Amino acid sequence: MEEARAWRHRYGGMVFQQFPTALSALIGLERELPRLPEYVRHARVVAAALREGFAAAGVPWARVHPEVPHTHEFQVWLPYEPGVAAEAAVRQAEETSVLLFANAWDEGGPGLACTEVVVRSTGLEWTADDVRAAVRDFVDRLPGPA
């Protein structure tokens, strides 16, 4: 029981009242849930533009998974070490205020970087041309051929 009490506390189970969390969740359901179909439709536009952008930029092996997203989240895989991709993403954000890849880059295997792309309300502002241009700029920050 002592161990269970400690873990209950560590996981936030000692909060006096949960209404702020419940209220936030209800607001999310009210505001975001109805927009999910719109996010999914636009995720497909973004995914296609990413594929086209990497192909046009000459990245020898880049993957969007799934190729046609069925949710508003999908993965991008690139033939670079995660640190290299992360550095290019951060430099792009710092130098241009464009954050194409906001999530962490993980190792997808030897020499492969993987990140998750999530399309939400701010992502709806991006056109396919915006995405392709941002990909070109991102690739320019990567080292030579992978």
Question: Mean pLDDT per segment of 10 residues, for the chain of length 146 residues?
Answer: 76 71 87 95 98 94 96 97 96 96 93 96 95 97 76
Percentage helix, strand, coil for the chain under 3-state DSSP, each rounded to 5: 55, 15, 30
The answer to whether residues 11 and 62 belong to one domain is no
The answer to whether residues 19 and 63 belong to one domain is no
- pTM to 2 decimal places: 0.83
Distance of CA 24 to the CA centre of its chain: 22
Residue with tokens 């949960």: 18
Return the pLDDT at 15: 67
Please count the structural domains in the chain: 2
Per the structure, the complete domain to which residue 9 belongs is given by: 2-31
Taking residue 73's Cβ as centre, other Cβ atoms within 10 Å add up to: 15
The answer to whether residues 25 and 90 belong to one domain is no
Please enumerate in sequence order all residues whose Cβ is within 8 A of that of 11, keeping only pairs 6 or more positions apart, or say none.
Answer: none
The answer to whether residues 7 and 57 belong to one domain is no
Q: Specify whether the CB–CB gap between 77 and 65 falls below 8 A.
A: yes
Return the pLDDT at 146: 45
What are the backbone dihedrals phi and psi of residue 118, each rounded to the nearest 5 degrees, phi first?
-125, 125
Return the pLDDT at 145: 56
On whether residue 57 sits in a domain, the answer given is yes
Q: Specify whether the CB–CB gap between 81 and 116 falls below 8 A.
A: no
